[in-house]
Amino acid sequence: MDYLEAQVFEIKHWNITIVENSTCWSRVHAHCDGSRKICKWRRKNSYKSLFVLLHEIGHIETDVKGMKRCEQESEATRWAVERLRALGIPIKRKILNDYKDYTKRTYERGVRRGLKKKVKSGLYI
């Protein structure tokens, strides 16, 4: 599988702008303000790089006002997995589990800050 090819296709298909020299905060992140920008993502011919990209596009495609942080992470990952399936690329458990764990941690942090526990039933974790 040529992951670079899939990345180029997805960036075009979803009308995404990659901002490599972004001046915003340091981690890779998506802008869900309609600008469809993804900052700090590094193009690399690897499965991981493709998954990270799809997760970030997933944020842009699934963002709904009022979603909790854990719900945002959950939906972005769910979207990335659906997209990999659509592209005919296998799901690698290791990286998917890393993202699920990340969602779990944002959920647990939410609970510590007063989030209702019933949110968990809708999460992709």
Q: What is the nearest approach in angstroms of Zn ion to the Cβ of residue 87?
A: 19
Residue with Cβ nearer Zn ion (29 or 120): 29
Residue with Cβ nearer Zn ion (63 or 111): 63
Residue with Cβ nearer Zn ion (1 or 17): 17
Residues 94-123 that bind Zn ion (CB under 5 A): none
H or E element that contains 39: strand 37-39
- Nearest Cα neighbor of 73 from 88, 52, 50, 49 is 52
**Only segment of 14-22, 37-45, 68-76, 78-86 that touches Zn ion (CB under 5 A):** 68-76
Q: What is the nearest approach in angstroms of Zn ion to the Cβ of residue 70?
A: 10
Q: Which two tokens stand for residue 101?
A: 């764990």
Q: How far apart are CA 57 and CA 61, in angstroms?
A: 6
**Only segment of 19-27, 43-51, 74-82, 115-123 that touches Zn ion (CB under 5 A):** 74-82
**Only segment of 3-11, 16-24, 75-83, 109-117 that touches Zn ion (CB under 5 A):** 75-83
Q: 93-112 vs 69-87: helix axis angle to the nearest 10?
A: 160
Q: What is the nearest approach in angstroms of Zn ion to the Cβ of residue 66?
A: 17
User: Under a CB-based contact definition with an 8 Å cutoff, are residues 59 and 76 in contact?
Assistant: yes
List of residues 6+ apart from 101 with CB closer than 8 A: none
Q: Using CB under 5 A as the criterion, which residues of the chain lie in contact with Zn ion when the complex forms? A: 73, 76
